[in-house]
Structure 1
Amino acid sequence: MFKPRPHGDDHTDPLDIGQDLEDFGQEVLHPSSISDHGDDEVINPWVWHHPDGLSIEDVDRQDRAIDAVEMGKPRTVTLSIGPVTYLRLTEPMTKDDIRNSSGRDAEHPQRAQLKLEAETPVKLMGPATEHAIDEVISALFARAPAFAPALQALRDSAHLALAHGANYFHFRPLLVVSPPGLGKTSLVRSLAKATGLPLIYLDGSTMMTTVDLTGGDSVFRSSRPSAIFQGLNQHGVGNPIAAFDEVDKLADMSRGARENPTESLLPFLESSTAGRVREHFLQIDLDLRFLNWILLANDIDKVPRTVRDRCRVVQIPALTPKDLAAVAEAEVRKRHLEPELIAALTRACAKGQIKSLRKLHKALDAAEATLRRPRLH
């Protein structure tokens, strides 16, 4: 599993068509274009983003690259510790912009500060070789074999992004549909941790508006920036994992809301529109093409077809009693619990008393808590 496609295989996921270097709008800044000399030294790509590894010459090259980057045109600079790609999320404010917005921002001091922060370029990062990506996917598969189709889709799309010029982790939007309790959310959190990318987590079951996606209308004193922008601004990374959990349960109770609020995601899911998404609180456009979207749902029929058409859809069936028993056995051994527990859990799975991973882990947690409980004399 997870073997590279043979050379000459011309099968391409239609969702990946056009995801080439030109579509990314990426330009490469070689050392010669921003410095007097270069460095061919090959260094571990996993540590290129750590500032401790930068020399004085690197800092100078980096500063020049940051000054040169424009919205819509990510720039890659080759440092002694490897290539680094910078992305400008929005256009720099002009004097006219500052003058025109000063009155409006007087009621929202936070907004003025956030606009300035939005102008600071962010990095595109994560595993940037086929081998590094394969290691991440293989580790996740070992922990969650039921999600093999979803992991394979991630791997293939991330490999294709590398082939088209990316030197960072990027994949096309993915919609994972499965029964509840299978571990979708845990898988996404594990993916973010394994890739070293920040996680922007949205929960459709608790959202009553689409403010977390687009920001609140700035005419209201209680408005706020979107969770998307806050995550980008906090971490300084332009390609985080953006997970929308329970997307089939999204509701919008605000006045004038669209009939199906899930369609608010549409501008985010296509490169042609994600390059300029309006942030209503800040009143600026953001380049969100590099967000790594994973939508999670229990019922595919409640996800609009317009959203499904823009994603790679992977449906994961419910685990069988045999599958659950295998997971139970592995977890018992991993947690160093009493071996006799395996038989008890296997019987519970067979009788239908445990039907999901969520319920299985609750039983395992209870057993582990009992084992660690101090004995009373």
Structure 2
Amino acid sequence: MHATASLALKAATMSKNFKNYKMYVPDYGDDAEPPSDDDGKGPPKNQGSAKRLSDDPNFDPLDLGNTPEQMAQYDAEQAEEEAAARHSQEWHHPDGLTPDDVDRQDRALGSVQMGKPRTVHLTTGPKTYMRLTDIMSMDSLREESRSEIPEQREQLRWKMKADKPLKLIGPHTEHAVDEVASNVFAQAPIFAPFLNAMRQSAHLSLVHGANFFHFDPTIIVSPPGLGKTTLVHMLAQASALPLIYLDGSTMMTTVDLTGGDAIYRASRPSAIYLGLIKHGVGNPLVVFDEVDKVTDHSTGARPNAAESLLPFLERTTAGRVHEQYLQIDLDLRFLNWVLLANDLEKIPRTVRDRCKIIQIPPMTSRDLAAMAKAEVKRRHLEPELVHMLTRACTRGEIKSLRRLNRVLDAAEATLRRARHH
């Protein structure tokens, strides 16, 4: 009897201790089932395992005092959580990618090298990535980051942006390229020679293995007012490519092409580099308007500033174009160059030899009248306007496409206001 009372007292004491420490004591009876975790009284998970740093509110992953072992454990925990999220039933990706797609894409991004684009085949279609410059070593970046000179720190900030791979995008089938050319032609039929040359060049790129939009450098020469600038904006919209616009008529140096010398306080990266980083695309449409008027007044400049384009237009040299401000080489082979000019003779022969030249003749009054008729129909304007515009073109009151578009824009704005009221 004394032994039984002693055992009962010990059992009560143990039960109290277990309760205080919130420990779980399972009942191993034949019909018993372990309680569910949902009631908060189940066995603690990972009993006996090391405490997770991700769950520790006092652990700061950015603390420089963390040991390598702590950081390794934290990285492993983060990787587990990401893997669990990717394979959970609640997986959602803004681009419609599956977990396996993301894994393949990450591997491609991690292995792409300068000069060697990588294509990864995803459920949404093939995606191609390129590296803009050589992989930067952490030692060199760490050394540059120690500088306390604001200009050098700004230079490093821009340089680090080049270390992220860029996408190569755009129509990647012959049918898609034809659709782009057709859509632009419907709005600008006068530029059919350019659109046909662009289409053929883009088709050839696809035959050679590209699965993105790319065509050879092209010069479009025409009298002022035919709508060359409007054309390239139409092309950018139809092809879904970003547009980098350079205006030769206002350019006093070639900084927009090559970047400024980093020794000067006001220096900056080239407009081409800034556009590539902004859009994250390695094959944008680069338009050099008024290329026949570009000048360079900087010290030691070329006699003809347009010759600064030469490294960009030749595929063998465009693979490594030196950026003066960043002091790194850039892979610019996939830029889609369109040079616009009014006078072909003012463009250096060396530049002309590296481009396809398309010359558009002046529009006759009959051409302008036909364009007016097509635009009135496309813009859903009043049919009576066709007769008025045809008479204005015949009398010489409308002598250019630019003037015609202004009249059409005004008529469209008037019609829109009338419908609004």
TM-score, normalised via structure 2 length: 0.74
Q: CA deviation at 1:301?
A: 0.6
Name the aligned partner's letter for residue 375 of structure 2: E
> 1:67 corresponds to which residue?
110
Q: Deviations over 1:91-126 (max 9, x none)?
A: 122245335644678332322111111010011111
Equivalence map 1:273-284=2 (5 Å): 273-284=317-328
- Rate the CA distance shift 1:368–1:194 in 2: closer, same or farther, 3 A: closer
- Rate the CA distance shift 1:207–1:99 in 2: closer, same or farther, 3 A: same
Distance 1:149 1:234 in 2: 32
Which residue, 288, 293, 300 being the options, matches 1:244?
288
Equivalence map 1:43-122=2 (5 Å): 51-98=94-141, 101-102=144-145, 106-108=149-151, 109-122=153-166
> 2:332 corresponds to which residue?
288
C-alpha contact (below 8 Å) 1:172/1:311 kept by paired residues: yes
Q: Deviations over 1:163-220 (max 9, x none)?
A: 0000111111011111111111111111111111111111111111111111111000
> 1:19 corresponds to which residue?
none
C-alpha contact (below 8 Å) 1:263/1:304 kept by paired residues: yes
Runs of 4+ in 1 over 6 A off after TM superposition: none
Q: Deviations over 1:300-357 (max 9, x none)?
A: 0111110000001110111110010011122223334333322222122112221111
Name the aligned partner's letter for residue 268 of structure 1: F
Give the gaps of 5 or more residues in structure 2.
1-92
Q: CA deviation at 1:71?
A: 0.6
Structure 2 residue 202 is the aligned partner of structure 1 residue 158: yes
> Alignment partner of 2:150: what SS?
coil
Equivalence map 1:212-291=2 (5 Å): 212-291=256-335
> Alignment partner of 1:53: what SS?
coil
Which residue, 136, 142, 146 being the options, matches 2:190?
146
Q: Deviations over 1:272-312 (max 9, x none)?
A: 00000011111111000000111111110111110000001
Give the gaps of 5 or more residues in structure 1.
1-49
- Rate the CA distance shift 1:105–1:332 in 2: closer, same or farther, 3 A: farther
- Rate the CA distance shift 1:257–1:105 in 2: closer, same or farther, 3 A: farther
Which residue, 135, 144, 158 being the options, matches 2:179?
135
Name the aligned partner's letter for residue 72 of structure 1: G
C-alpha contact (below 8 Å) 1:73/1:87 kept by paired residues: yes
Q: Deviations over 1:58-95 (max 9, x none)?
A: 11111111111111111111122221111000012224
RMSD of aligned alpha carbons: 1.8
Larger radius of gyration: 2
> 2:167 corresponds to which residue?
123
Distance 1:373 1:168 in 2: 41
> 1:362 corresponds to which residue?
406
Which residue, 318, 336, 357 being the options, matches 1:313?
357
Q: Percent identity?
A: 66
> 1:5 corresponds to which residue?
none
- Rate the CA distance shift 1:51–1:85 in 2: closer, same or farther, 3 A: farther
- Rate the CA distance shift 1:240–1:372 in 2: closer, same or farther, 3 A: closer
C-alpha contact (below 8 Å) 1:85/1:124 kept by paired residues: yes
